[in-house]
Every structure is written in structure tokens, then in C-alpha cells.
Amino acid sequence: MNLILLGPPGAGKGTQAKELEEGHGLAWLSTGDMLRSAVASGSEIGRRAKAVMERGELVSDDIMIAMIGERIGRSDCARGFILDGFPRTVAQAEGLDSMLAQEGRSLDRVIEMRVDDDALVDRISGRFSCTACGAGYHDRHRRPRIEGVCDSCGGTEFSRRKDDNAETVKTRLAAYHDQTAPLLPYYRKRGALATVDGMASIDEVKQQIAAVVEAGDV
């Protein structure tokens, strides 16, 4: 099963992708995490992406398409993958379609997570995550069960993202509405789109997504 989680920054894509990875054995592919590793390692791509990410703008389509193309070819994606944060433009969606078609693969579902802009600012400003496994937490909405210890992996180191600040969030939301929202009609037209209420609790959203996934192929 190959899925896309589509939604604005802070919608809960990473939170639900992690659940799907653990519950369904799908590979969780977060382009944001891939880019942050590239920045941390100081690679050529990281050097090109760093300032763009700090401003909250989008990294170029050619970099992103090449990055995801390399990633979905790896063996852990053979059983299926969840794309979190990709595609973010129509050009990226078209690039993905042609890569998958070349390999005789296809998308099963595109799941839109709908969340109000006001709630996104609250979610992003309280977000932190486990450095070891990427599990996401929130100062008020989702604290680790044992204070200071990751529920998923037992890790004890957490980090906050540099771009999770009020100023950058505005630019990221604008990028979503201008460049990413056009993907909704793109996927709706082919009958692949399912929408869940991302304003609901983490557990309720998880159940809504499970219902879509269990309904099977389109």
C-alpha cells in the first residue's frame, strides 16, 4: 500500500505516519526529516536547502524529486510507503507519477488532513520530537507517557525545530495554500483523495485513517 498524507504544516502528518509505520509495516518517508539530515551532515543538498528552509519556503522541485526517487527505490519501500511532506507542488506530483509508472507501481490513497490555520500555529509552537526515532510530541496535546522518555524507542533526547517559530509559520502556511493546496483537486479528479478531520484527537484521526486504509485500493 502506497499512501500520501497531505496537509498543512502541523496538521499531524508525521504523528500519523509514525502510527502507520508501526501498525502496518509501511516505510515512513518524511522529506522534511531527509532535508534536516542533509543540513546536519553539511552535504551539497543540505547547503542549498538550509536558508530556504529557515525562511519557510519550498526547496526546488528537482532536488525533491531526485531525493524521493532515490528513497522509494530502497528495499524497505517494497511493502509500501507513506509520503509525509511530499509532493508539495503539482510539478512534484507529476514527477512522482512518472517515477511510479516507470516501475509499474501506483498510489493507493491520498489522505487529506484538514486543520484550521489557528490550530496549526498552536500545534507548531508546542511541537518537539525524539532525536533517535522521530516520534512527535507536544507540550500540551501529547506528552511522553513517562516524562523525558520516548514512548516509541525509550530515547531520552528531544529536539525542537528551528523553523517552528511564529514568523516562519506564516510563510509555510502561505506556501501550503498557494503551492500545495492545488494538489487536492489534482488527486480528487482521479478518485484517490480521502479527507479526514485533522481537528479531532490524535486517536480519533488514527481511527479515521485506519478506516480509509482498510477500505483498500481505489
Catalytic residue among 109, 127, 142, 206: 127
Q: Catalytic site residue 172?
A: yes
Q: Is there binding between residue 205 and ligand ADP (CB under 6 A)?
A: yes
Cell numbers at 52, concatenated = 530556504
Q: Catalytic site residue 160?
A: no
Catalytic residue among 18, 36, 88, 123: 88
Q: Catalytic site residue 48?
A: no
Q: Catalytic site residue 88?
A: yes
Catalytic residue among 13, 50, 109, 206: 13
- Long-range contacts, 70-79 (Cβ 8 Å, 24+): 71/29, 71/34, 72/29, 72/99, 72/100, 73/103, 74/27, 76/27, 77/27, 77/29, 79/25, 79/26, 79/27
CB 171 to ligand ADP: min, Å? 8
Nearest to 183 by CA among 78, 70, 91: 91
Q: Is there binding between residue 53 and ligand ADP (CB under 6 A)?
A: yes
* Residues 123-142 close enough to bind Zn ion by CB under 5 A: 130, 132-133, 135
**Torsion 77-81-87-88 (CA) sign:** negative
Residues 117-146 as x/- pattern, contact with ligand ADP by CB under 6 A: ------x--xx--------xxx--xx----
Cell numbers at 45, concatenated = 543538498
Q: Is there binding between residue 12 and ligand ADP (CB under 6 A)?
A: yes
Residue with cell 486517536: 203
Annotated active-site positions, please?
13, 88, 127, 161, 172
